[in-house]
Amino acid sequence: MQCFRLPSRISEKLDQINRDFFWKNSSTRKGLPLIAWDKICCPKTVGGLGLRKTAAVNLAFLAKLAWKFLTQPDNFWAQLLTAKYCNPEGFFHCKIKPSDSWVWKCLLRIRPFLQQGLRWKLGNGKSIHFWTDVWCSQESLASQVGANLSALTDVDIKVCEFITADKQWDSVRLNQVLHKPRPCCTGNPHPEH
């Protein structure tokens, strides 16, 4: 569960075992559910018992593993994945290959889930893809301006290419690419920590 995405049938079966343990009077007699399982699985602060559904726990474990890969490059496990597949910078841009390990495929498949909560903090911009990373709003710049990624010739361009040596926005370069200034590109970039 900590490194593989469980099939939905397995998750449902584990949840059924948990429900049976919670509600059944004996191994042969069914108990009477007094409250919906969804309600029981809510946090205690909102009236549930704080039990967790298997699929949610599985997804949380996988997200934790992906986060470890992204934020702990000195970790031996992360170094192995980097050497075999890609560096953390390319994690959101690499494609799944049939020869990839099952663990790596599982991590790549949860990228949309991870991206819902990840935001880049603009520093020097060397690691941030200008069009596809979420760095200046709640969605990628390509989504905001309605850009067709397959038609872009500079899809792999980085944000650092729009920052001058004195850490200001290169408005001439931005205008060349965007054709007009965008409100999301205000303020000055700051050095990465």
For the chain, give the percent of residues with pLDDT over 70: 88
Say what the alpha-carbon torsion angle 140, 142, 146, 148 is, to the nearest 10 degrees: -140
Token digits for 176? 């060349």
pLDDT of residue 193: 38
The predicted-structure confidence for 66-111, as pLDDT tens digits, reads as follows 999 998 989 999 999 999 998 887 888 889 999 999 999 999 999 9
Q: What is the pLDDT of residue 10?
A: 95
pLDDT digits (tens, 9 = 90+) for 14-47: 999 888 888 876 666 676 777 888 888 999 999 9
Pairwise pLDDT comparison (176 vs 45), residue with the higher score = 45
pTM of the full structure? 0.68
Note the pLDDT of residue 26. 65
Long-range contacts of 139-146 (CB under 8 A, 24+ apart): 141/182, 141/184, 144/182, 144/184, 145/178, 145/182
Q: Would the pLDDT of 113 be above 80?
A: yes
187: left (phi over 0), alpha (psi -120 to 50) or beta: left
What was the pLDDT predicted at 118? 79
Buried b (16+ CB within 10 A) or exposed e, 34-64: eeebeebbeeeeeebeeeebbbeebbebbee
pLDDT the model gives residue 28: 67
The pLDDT of residue 27 is: 65
The answer to whether 2 and 42 are in contact (CB under 8 A) is: no
Query: How far from 135 is each of 115, 144, 171, CA to CA, in Å?
Result: 11, 12, 17
pLDDT, mean of residues 136-150: 76
Q: For residues 95 and 159, is the Cβ–Cβ distance under 8 A?
A: no
User: What's the confidence (pLDDT) of residue 98?
Assistant: 93
How many whole angstroms separate alpha carbon 86 and alpha carbon 70?
Answer: 11
